[in-house]
Structure 1
Amino acid sequence: MTSTRSAHESATPVAQSGELFAPVSSGVELCYQTFGDPDADPLLLVMGLGGPMTWWDPDLCRLLAERGFFVIRYDNRDTGRSSRVGGRVSRTTLVRAFLGAPVRAPYDISDMARDATGLLDHLGIDSAHVVGVSMGGMIAQTLAIEEPSRVRSLTSIMSTTGKRTVGWQNPSLFPALIGGRGPSREAYVKASAAMWRMIGSPAYPQPAEETRARAEETYDRGVSASGVLRQMLAILTQPNRGARLRSVKVPTLVIHGLADKMVHVSGGRATAAAVPGAELLLVDGMGHDMPPALFETFTAAIRRNADRA
């Protein structure tokens, strides 16, 4: 996940909306933004844990628009400028869920998938190509399973099936994930930079000033520590989708970095193995982010997969 600006400049200006809002369910309003021609192929981008829509780099969004997509990025519930959802989640509850004990979550991945369909409804879009990163991949997979008529093609990036024996986190990350980032802007920025140093792509290191700029933008648009915990619990309590993924009939692309510490590459391999005919693209030196050096690779693969629809 990244919001780093690359050197790419569009030869032809791509239309870009401001930040807009869509009521998608009772009490939930999503902030979203679009790139490109509304008559082009709709492409819905779904971000991961605690990540606002701005982690979809605008340069990547413009590249996708240039390839014939109407690109829609949005803040998930409990993220950025979208609605905050009630329900307290303690760190003790997270640990219990991590260990497999039964717990009750304020919402689940299916609820977040319904947010996505609500956004499509708001935009008058019957179906879209769907691309999800990390938790967003879980949401995208769930959408393809539960609302197959709404998904034209599926791209799952650095994600997993929900099976506990695949796609695990490196144990060294868990303290940082549940430890909080402090209430101040500077504390958040420092903790965020430290996390990206741990999970970023070793072959494509991000300049410190760009990591800091992303964290500052994320904080300024709105962060919710309690929201991150609610999303994390939705991840920890998700079902194993392996068997149900066999019902997915749309063209499917799975992208995963071989150096991913947040979601082990076994999660990507399991996802590709579960979906009939899925393409698996493994990237050397890629961690749990989307480096600008790989934007052309991602764009070409997503377009190729969509063209199979």
Structure 2
Amino acid sequence: MSERVIDAGGVRLCTESFGERAAPPILLVMGTGASMLWWEEGFCRMLAEGGRFVIRYDHRDTGRSVTYGAGRPGYTGADLVEDAVAVLDAHGIPAAHVVGVSAGGALAQLAALRHPDRVLSLVLISTSPAVRGDRELPPPTAEFMNFVASAQADWSQTDSVVDHLVDYARVLAGGRRPFDEAAVRDLVRRDVERADDFAAVRNHDVLPDGEPSRAPVSSIAAPTLVIHGTADPMFPLGHGRALAEEIPAARLLPLEGAGHGLDRADWTTVVHAVLAHTAAPGQGGNPGAGTRR
């Protein structure tokens, strides 16, 4: 494991790798507003122990990557897609298996559309089609929307921010499983204390999309595995089904009772599925692990 700050076209990004460089590479793309710590070390190590070279990184305005003035990010969502490619460049990786969660799943889709030669396969967790068509998708739950509308935090006070983010994580968990508040609180506090300027993460709330993709997700050629919790309050399961139906030959792996994100209780299932999906043909596992639609 080694943390490394890279120069991505004049932009400072903090990355960390696990495993042997000669192993098949996996790039982990977290959702906007979240640093690489949300790809927890134990999960990364499980993938590395399965024979993969794993890279996680901090988005701009998170963790130890570059930060911008409050309300003035100076970059777009499209730039975050290019950042993912820049991370591969900095590590000397021509192409990788890309695993994205939440908005990171949308970034992964856009990377596959814009740079198909850099994406060996996709794993899309708790996300939605990055390019919306005419399909009707289910809205977030009322509980999620009520929290977003009413929640407040004093971003100058660490304890207030931690309490707010723990409450948000509780809502995202979906309510069908026990919520490990102690573990989440520890992760949130480490994330807040590690960041160069944690308040800068709010720039992601005002981030413009940048140049939109003109290609539909149905034109994604990379083998795709969709993993989605059945209790996701932000993107209900219909979003995962839409991806599995629209991306050619994609597979859907539902996680019963799981909410939004990657629950520790699902690590073994998800790691097994990712390792199978990213295995070279004939080297074990079903590269399309999961159930069709």
TM-score under structure 2 normalisation?
0.85
Output one character per residue of 1:232-273: Cα deviation in whole Å (capped at 9) or x when no partner. Answer: 3448x5888695212211210001111011222222111111
The 5 A counterparts of 1:6-85 are: 16-17=1-2, 19-26=3-10, 28-85=11-68
The 5 A counterparts of 1:257-272 are: 257-272=229-244
Letter in 2 for 1:224: F
Q: Does the 8 Å CA contact 2:97/2:122 hold for their aligned counterparts?
A: yes
Secondary structure in 1 aligned to 2:216? helix
Letter in 2 for 1:132: G
Q: Does the 8 Å CA contact 1:138/1:160 hold for their aligned counterparts?
A: yes
Distance (whole Å) between structure 2 residues aligned to residue 169 and residue 86 of structure 1: 30
Distance (whole Å) between structure 1 residues aligned to residue 148 and residue 65 of structure 2: 22
Residue 142 (structure 1) aligns with: 110
State the 1:109 CA deviation.
2.7
State the 1:87 CA deviation.
6.8
Change in 2 beyond 3 A, CA 1:224/1:296: same
Letter in 2 for 1:279: R
Distance (whole Å) between structure 1 residues aligned to residue 69 and residue 145 of structure 2: 24
State the 1:85 CA deviation.
3.5
State the 1:39 CA deviation.
0.7
Q: Does the 8 Å CA contact 1:160/1:167 hold for their aligned counterparts?
A: no
Output one character per residue of 1:138-162: Cα deviation in whole Å (capped at 9) or x when no partner. Answer: 1101000100000001001000114
Distance (whole Å) between structure 2 residues aligned to residue 118 and residue 240 of structure 1: 19
| Aligned partner (choices 175, 188, 203) of residue 202 of structure 1 | 175
Q: Does the 8 Å CA contact 1:46/1:132 hold for their aligned counterparts?
A: yes
**Identity rate, percent:** 35
Change in 2 beyond 3 A, CA 1:51/1:220: same
Q: Does the 8 Å CA contact 1:242/1:274 hold for their aligned counterparts?
A: no
State the 1:45 CA deviation.
0.3
Question: Runs ≥4 in structure 1, deviation > 6 angstroms?
Answer: 238-242
Output one character per residue of 1:203-252: Cα deviation in whole Å (capped at 9) or x when no partner. Answer: 44232211211111011012533433x323448x5888695212211210
Residue 296 (structure 1) aligns with: 268
Residue 141 (structure 2) aligns with: 170
Distance (whole Å) between structure 1 residues aligned to residue 67 and residue 193 of structure 2: 16
The 5 A counterparts of 1:127-276 are: 127-162=95-130, 163=132, 165-166=136-137, 168-174=139-145, 176-177=147-148, 179-182=151-154, 183-222=156-195, 223-228=197-202, 230-234=203-207, 237=209, 244-276=216-248
TM-score under structure 1 normalisation?
0.81
Change in 2 beyond 3 A, CA 1:208/1:87: closer
Letter in 1 for 2:98: V
Secondary structure in 1 aligned to 2:189? helix
Change in 2 beyond 3 A, CA 1:173/1:293: closer
Secondary structure in 2 aligned to 1:276? coil
Letter in 1 for 2:222: V
Distance (whole Å) between structure 2 residues aligned to residue 255 and residue 299 of structure 1: 11
Change in 2 beyond 3 A, CA 1:86/1:114: farther
Question: Unaligned 5+ residue runs, structure 1?
Answer: 1-15, 90-104
Q: Does the 8 Å CA contact 2:75/2:207 hold for their aligned counterparts?
A: yes
